[in-house]
Chain A
Amino acid sequence: MVFLDLLISTLTQGFIYALLSYGVFITYKILDFPDLTVDGSFPLGAAITAVLLVNGMDPYLVLLISAAVGALAGLATGFIHVRLGVRDLLAGIITMTALFSVNLQIAGSNLAVERAIDTIFTAKPVMVILGPMSLMMRKFIVTLVLALLVKLLLDLYLKTKSGLLLRAVGDNSTLVTTLAKDKGTMKILGLVIANGLVALCGSVVCQEQRAFASTMGTGQVVFGLATVIIGTTLFRRFSFVKGTTAVLVGSVFYKICIQVAISLGLPANLLKLVMAVLFLAVLILGEKKKGGAKYA
């Protein structure tokens, strides 16, 4: 039972953060754009969520609004980079820095959502279907559905004409120009979608933890990059696996690594070292299959 409980709650965390990983996958992997906006748009989603929930708004509607506001953050980064000509990293840093203050204005330094307030895990539609289950199982199922639904929508989108153009921007931007399309607009679109997903993730985290903290964004971009790279490295040899599936697994794998490190009962301060070793092992194993060190 201990193991099952641990597995379920760890998978739940993996599914929730997969939403963020999808976002980073779009910017970093597809657009070839290292987007630091994530550290700001993640808590932005949570801040909006906390305020709206406290004011009694429907939790499912809150998810959509948070994603929409996050998309605006992506729009800001895209505009700064594409239209104002600021370098990609710096454009993200600017938006992220501004969002820190914006988030403080929206929700203060922290905001709690009381247990009496319904979240996506306790509101009516979910209770009608999954009512008899424990909260842990409800969280598991809701986040699983959410992670798969977003993945499917993203996969479908990437097959559309617009999605193909988006992929072309990162791979071969000259092609986009020769097709008489504006690659700048496509980049902005990618950032909008990506940060919408990141804010959606922030919203789910806020609903799950029932709290917003202005510092909760710190390190999220590093997490996102790690999951994207772990996921794609794990599935390097399996060409039939889609990129979105790979990062979903990457996110779950990351959370499992942390839980394993916690469960091993090592001295608490060694936790991050253990994680680093686990990641390194994955990356080295992924590299080896391809024929040894690349940077010798």
Chain B
Amino acid sequence: MYTCFLLGRLHDLDEMRLDHLDEKKGEGSMKKFLAMTMAVVLGMVALTGCGTSNDNNGGTEGETANADIPVIGISQYGQHASLDNCREGFLKGLEESGLEEGKDFTYEYQNAGFDDNIATQIAQNFSAKNVDLMCAIATPSATACYAAAEDKNIPVIFTAITDPVKASLDTGNITGTSDKLPVEAQLELIRALQPEAKTIGILYTTSEPNSVSAIEEYKEKGPDYGFTIEAVGVTQQAEVLQAADSVIAKGVDCISNLTDNNVVGVLPSILEKTNDAKIPVYGSEIEQVKLGCVASAGIDYIALGKQTGAMAAKVLKGEATAEEMPYETITSFDTYINSKALTDMEITVPSDIAEKAIEAEK
């Protein structure tokens, strides 16, 4: 609807005619045209010029005061609790590896607002500035950074990518960490908390590769734990709540979440529906449990970021190259629980799980 509205407005605004020829004006307008072109070019010189000097990381010219301090360009796909945690963890990881910000490295952070085109231009910006290392958070940013870094062979360290092999980001001067979901651990947790449960409902976006591969794994491993999987796909966020209604109507015993951006984005509304229907929802990471999911065997994105930061530190120190290091996955997972949500759903937590679980109630 918004697009339609926009189109209408643009159309109204724009009534001009380009191709009416006015011979007399020809010469005068040519001069103006040249003047305007000059103004645009000069404006760009001024703006980009001041931009780079402000950031103080135009490393190529060797003229800036701290030109010898390595610069890291951090390109994050969008603002999102998990991705923010990755970035925070990444910087902590660098410091834990003995690198001090401002002394051993400086960084520039850019966020593409979930726009692939902007991710491309951010990566090109980093490449032009000849940053010493690019840190790419989420797949589209990593793809863009890798493409922009090809010419200058700048190392790229990624994080929050589920399947680096499928994204062709596993070979070359690139490495990082994968945030593949611990599907088996989650199935085990659900079985322990709901011994009687038979079906697990899952909502996912059909165009999110991470979700699609997670669904495949759920369907493959679900039967091992005695579950059938009832997966309902959507194409956009606007359809998620309808899909939630349909999953609830199918009479599932619980719902398990993925790290699907569209679904997680409307999680509070989903939880309202499931609370009414008394269906427990399991999260895929701590942020979702904080929002009211009963429990999760999930990734700690700060820990993932730290692991990534440690890898970047090795590259900066010259201990290893991104080319040599294979990408890493997190092998240990934490169990998060939300006691209030568990009580509401009348689920009792077995003592062995309760002991190691981390309380994530808000």
Which residue on B lies nearest to A139, using beta carbons? B151
Contact of A234 with B36 in the complex, beta carbons under 8 Å: yes
A98 to B30, CA, bound (A): 46
A290 to B15, CA, bound (A): 12
A240-B30, A271-B118 are known contacts. Are A214 and B207 too (CB-CB below 8 A)? yes
Which residue on B lies nearest to A115, using beta carbons? B172
Interface SS of chain A: helix, strand, loop or mixed? helix
Q: Which of B30, B47, B49: most chain A Cβ within 10 A?
A: B47
| Contact for A263 among B10, B14, B29, B52, CB less than 8 A | B52
- A2: which B residues are within 8 A, CB to CB? 48, 52, 58, 60-61, 128-130
Q: Mark A29-56, 1 if CB is under 8 A from B, else 0.
A: 1000010100000000000000000000
A215-B207, A260-B47 are known contacts. Are A229 and B129 too (CB-CB below 8 A)? no
Contact of A108 with B209 in the complex, beta carbons under 8 Å: yes
A112-B166, A112-B167, A265-B51 are known contacts. Are A213 and B140 too (CB-CB below 8 A)? yes
| Contact for B44 among A110, A222, A237, A256, CB less than 8 A | A256
- Report the minimal beta-carbon distance from A91 to chain B, rounded to whole angstroms: 13
Contact of A211 with B22 in the complex, beta carbons under 8 Å: no
- A237: which B residues are within 8 A, CB to CB? 25, 29, 32
- A178: which B residues are within 8 A, CB to CB? none
A232-B18, A238-B32 are known contacts. Are A3 and B113 too (CB-CB below 8 A)? no
Contact of B19 with A112 in the complex, beta carbons under 8 Å: no
Contact of B51 with A216 in the complex, beta carbons under 8 Å: no
Contact of A34 with B7 in the complex, beta carbons under 8 Å: yes
- A239: which B residues are within 8 A, CB to CB? 18-22, 25-26, 29
Cβ of B331 under 8 Å from chain A: no
- A256: which B residues are within 8 A, CB to CB? 40, 44
A198 to B29, CA, bound (A): 32
| Contact for B61 among A1, A222, A238, CB less than 8 A | A1
Q: How many residues of B contact A (CB 8 A)?
A: 75
Contact of B121 with A10 in the complex, beta carbons under 8 Å: yes
Q: Which of B107-130 contact A (CB under 8 A)?
A: 108-111, 113, 115-118, 120-122, 124-125, 127-130
A36 to B6, CA, bound (A): 12
Interface SS of chain B: helix, strand, loop or mixed? helix
A221 to B7, CA, bound (A): 10
Contact of B235 with A6 in the complex, beta carbons under 8 Å: no
A112-B166, A246-B18 are known contacts. Are A269 and B26 too (CB-CB below 8 A)? no
Contact of A36 with B25 in the complex, beta carbons under 8 Å: no
Q: Which of A111-157 contact B (CB under 8 A)?
A: 112-115, 134-136
- B40: which A residues are within 8 A, CB to CB? 253, 256
Partner-contacting stretch, out of B142-150, B250-258, B288-296? B142-150
Interface residues of B (CB under 8 A from A): 3-4, 6-7, 10-11, 13-14, 16, 18-22, 25-26, 29-30, 32-33, 36, 40, 44-45, 47-52, 54-55, 58, 60-61, 76, 79, 108-111, 113, 115-118, 120-122, 124-125, 127-130, 139-140, 143-144, 146-148, 150-151, 166-169, 172, 206-209, 212, 235
Interface residues of A (CB under 8 A from B): 1-3, 5-7, 9-10, 13, 17, 28-29, 34, 36, 89, 100-101, 104, 108-110, 112-115, 134-136, 208-211, 213-216, 219, 221-223, 225, 229, 232-243, 246, 253, 255-256, 258-260, 262-265, 268-269, 271-272, 283, 290
Query: 13 other contacts beyond A2-B52, A215-B207, A268-B79, with CB at 8 A cut-off?
Result: A2-B60, A36-B7, A109-B209, A110-B139, A110-B166, A112-B166, A135-B151, A209-B120, A210-B146, A225-B6, A265-B55, A268-B76, A268-B110
Q: 10 tightest A-B contacts by CB?
A: A268-B111, A263-B51, A112-B168, A5-B128, A9-B124, A214-B207, A6-B128, A109-B209, A34-B7, A135-B151
